A and B are shown apart, each in its own frame.
Chain A
């Protein structure tokens, strides 16, 4: 260096300010170069919180991506660190330079799946997960046996025997996380009329896991929307939105799901597509990227972008619409958990709180460390059970510190993860989706409906 050595930072260029839609057009190396290595992402990264290692931080992973670019190949070590990423996107919120880590990790994961040979056992568990979860019908078929198993009293002895843990930690995690199954899935009609004067016509995504395991959340969603004056369209033939696949680098599979969802909803002519699951909404708002990544033609990408523009999280939509139905008192001490794909993925933090604040006598506490992921992260807790359960334990500590009797979250995975962790510790807590709380308040149900 010449005399007067100074600090130099190279950045991605003036256009690096653009995030979201603009990033999709920019080449991968360009997006990588936006990172100035400042480290502001470290403290919000769940794996850095756990292990304190550079290569398991967003900054370290971006460095590893750069190495892979240089060397044209992934090392086993770097794939391990990419797999360790929960994709919670807390780093995107924390980054002052506007690095599109969401786009970076998604592209990287897709490349890993394409170019990197995984060990056989890993391949098996991944294909097992992806032949089950994104498929609502198959999940619904699981309900019967799962209910029978839960009723049989086998769970206790099986868990303490540790057999499942030895067979596969992923299978053991699946067993632990399985939601309690009660009754049959109530079918939603294809059209739910608005209560009173109609204010809007909205489409509703029923989803795969939400639909099969949390049908009551979908029912509450339809009811609340209708009470607020929306005619709710629930198109038949919709399936998984593709989020789970997209978050795991299964680009082609994600694009197939996305394409189907686009085709299903665009013909309904709705004002908005309302989504009640954070992970789904986050992906659906970036359908253009999902389809472009998989090499779909431009016209389809544009149609996907048009649909994405209509996608809103339920809480976002309800706040923008403004309340009409009367809220009745719900004297419960609750805590609100920010689902990552709602807060970091979609920037939705104020709206759910605003909706909950409007319910008389409902006390809502914030959790300490709200920006840190609970470890659920889609299918992460099945693929990486150990860090997932460490993060679950941290979150459970934070939940317990609020002394709340009800935990409210906007994503089914988070509720499952936190409820299961609390149950294991003997600190059982009731969980509910934001919309279930609203629904109870609007219908004037007693607190016992939730806790």
Chain B
């Protein structure tokens, strides 16, 4: 659980305002009291919208929402609301905008970048009660769902028609579609099928000002700006998705999963390169190193080949003849790269056994280390071998163990930086190694996040990737949706309060604004 003190900026949420921050200045106290008053005044109106049952003010209950899947960051929400309809969401957001109260969207609370980190001076809008599959439309190969529906539940609803929903984050049985949309989630199979953005045809969104707007629909293409594309991955800063029309993909005729064991990572990497070079497009190519294999064995007894320094999971799907031919090819290429054992699974149960180790890897690392940092970075596939070598060097130099689990097919790394939180300074050293890994990714032309998002966790790393002009342009875009600045503030983009004086962040007006070509709200 949490290993850091919880942030409770004001500690003066509606029902317990007697506590004040002893360290606060007079000015700060006045501000906090002011914010608290505004929030308290909001509570009866929120109850009017969501019902008494849909508003949580009790402190013990609110605290259970203080973190999402990333417990490093915690802050007690001022109020939690649990709307059940799109109209309720829109009304809540409209109210927040009108009153200048920040709101934070939350789905299932499984995010790994603290994108749903609540605010003590704000409203946490949770979509966990909006979990109805509105319609499955096999003829148009799509489904209409509420935002709180779990990713896997779309597949469950579509399966009887011979369809499934392709994006598959490892937390797919829990994570909500709304959260997937906010983070543009991927998954093991995004190599072939793409990310969430490639699977959403239409959206209904509640804008931060409280309007309900429809973007796209069941038709595969709409003219004009791609606002769906802009909204997906916006991490709650442009509003809340209240309904989504998602693409369904036909269940493939055949799925074959291969598990190849190598003595070392280099050989595994070579196999990946040769598979890609041969023009085979697997649905997924995943790799795990010795340390993460050990963790998975401890957690779920996945029974991977003994003595493996690396395992490669290659999944092929499609028409049976293609799959068989590709599988034979992948087998040959793995053998040539030095695989000492290859297993093949075609049945669902055997396949699940192969995937079990990979899917549980993050949580499983808890079995071999008291604490760990899950990193998420991307490098071009060709740089994979070099970056892994650099990570190994970093690890050896710092004495901090790093386990590697990654989507090898698309260069999305998930290094797990292991440390003992009981050891003084270990956390800081691990954070340094983890940060250095991100630097490596950027240096090789990659990105600071592949699929976990920026949230609050990496907001201060954004200037490593983007110029001040880039960031300011993004902020202008954000303000076009959210002029009041109440939609998930301090997430995604760096702010001085969050990051201190970020080097290189411009403080004067944007050149476009200065030239009168853009308007700053």
Residues of A near any B CB (own CB < 8 A):
1-14, 16-17, 32-40, 42-43, 51-55, 59-60, 62-64, 66-67, 75, 77-78, 81, 95-98
Residue in B150, B171, B439 whose beta carbon sits within 8 Å of that of A38 in the complex: B171
Which chain B positions have C-beta within 8 A of A51?
Answer: 129
Q: How far is the CA of A43 from the CA of B175 in the complex (A)?
A: 9
Q: Is the CB of A39 within 8 A of B69?
A: yes
Instruction: Give A135 Cβ to nearest chain B Cβ, in Å.
Output: 36
Q: Check B371–A8 contact: CB distance below 8 A.
A: yes
Known: A40-B363, A97-B364. 13 other contacts (CB 8 A): A1-B72, A2-B432, A4-B434, A4-B436, A6-B374, A6-B458, A8-B371, A9-B371, A52-B129, A54-B65, A63-B63, A63-B64, A98-B367
What's the minimum C-beta distance from A207 to chain B, rounded to whole angstroms?
A: 33
| Cβ contact within 8 Å between A10 and B1 | yes
A8→B70 contact, CB < 8 A: yes
Q: Look across to chain A and name the residue whose beta carbon is closest to the beta carbon of B371.
A: A10
Residues of B435-456 contacting chain A, CB below 8 A? 435-436, 438-439, 452, 456
B269 within 8 A of A: no
Asked if A4 and B435 make an inter-chain contact with CB atoms under 8 angstroms apart, the answer reads yes
A1 to B3: give the CA distance in the assembly, Å.
Answer: 13
Quick check: A7 and B113 within 8 Å, CB to CB?
yes
Which of A8, A42, A51, A98 is the most central at the interface, judged by chain B CB atoms within 10 Å of its CB? A8
Q: Does B404 contact A (CB under 8 A)?
A: no
Whether the pair A5, B128 counts as a contact (CB closer than 8 A) is: no
> Complex Cα distance A52/B65, Å?
12
Cα A52 to Cα B147 with chains together (Å): 13
Chain A's closest residue to B148 (CB) is A52
B394 within 8 A of A: no
Task: Decide: A12 near B60, CB < 8 A? Known: A1-B431, A96-B300, A96-B360.
Answer: no
Whether the Cβ atoms of A36 and B363 lie closer than 8 Å is yes
Given the known A-B contacts A4-B461, A36-B363, A37-B69, are A14 and B435 also in contact in the complex, defined by CB atoms under 8 Å?
Answer: no
Given known A3-B460, A38-B110, contact A11–B371 (CB-CB < 8 A): yes
Q: A43-B150, A96-B363 are in contact. Are A10 and B438 (CB under 8 A)?
A: no
Residues of chain A lying within 8 A (CB to CB) of residue B171:
38-40
* Residues A77 and B427 in contact in the complex (CB < 8 Å), given A11-B372, A39-B109: no
- Tell whether, in the assembled complex, residue B174 and residue A9 are in contact, meaning their CB atoms are under 8 Å apart: no
Q: A7-B72, A9-B71, A14-B367 are in contact. Are A39 and B108 (CB under 8 A)?
A: yes
Q: Which residues of B contact A7 (CB under 8 A)?
A: 70, 72, 112-113, 373-376, 452, 457
In the complex, chain B residues whose CB is within 8 Å of the CB of A63: 1, 63-64, 66
Q: Can you list 16 A-B pairs with a CB-CB distance of less than 8 A?
A: A3-B460, A5-B431, A6-B457, A8-B70, A8-B431, A9-B372, A11-B370, A14-B370, A17-B298, A39-B174, A43-B173, A51-B129, A53-B128, A67-B60, A95-B363, A96-B363
List the B side residues contacting A2 at CB < 8 Å: 428, 431-432, 435
Q: Does B101 contact A (CB under 8 A)?
A: no
Beta-carbon contacts under 8 Å, B346-369 to A: 360, 362-369
Question: Given contacts A10-B3, A43-B150, A97-B363, are A5 and B458 in contact (CB under 8 A)?
Answer: yes
Q: Is the CB of B69 within 8 A of A38?
A: yes
Choose among A55, A81, A98 the residue that contacts B299 (Cβ–Cβ < 8 A). A98
Which residues 67-107 of B have a CB within 8 angstroms of A? 67-72, 82
Question: In the docked arrangement, what's the CA distance between A288 and B244, Å?
Answer: 51
Residue in A1, A10, A17, A77 whose beta carbon sits within 8 Å of that of B60 in the complex: A77
Instruction: From B108, B128, B366, B435, name the one whose CB has the most chain A CB atoms within 10 angstroms.
Output: B366
CA distance A32 to B2 in the complex (A): 11
A63 to B69, CA, bound (A): 13
Q: What A residues does B436 contact at CB under 8 A?
A: 4
Q: Looking at the assembled complex, report how far the CB atom of A30 sits from the nearest CB atom of chain B, in whole angstroms.
A: 11
The smallest C-beta distance from A104 to any residue of chain B, in angstroms, reads 12
Which residues of A lie under 8 Å from residue B439 when comparing CB positions? 4
Q: How far is the CA of A16 from the CA of B363 in the complex (A)?
A: 11
Closest approach, in angstroms, between the C-beta of B387 and any C-beta of chain A? 16
Is B370 in contact with A9, judged by CB distance below 8 angstroms?
A: no
CA distance A327 to B180 in the complex (A): 51
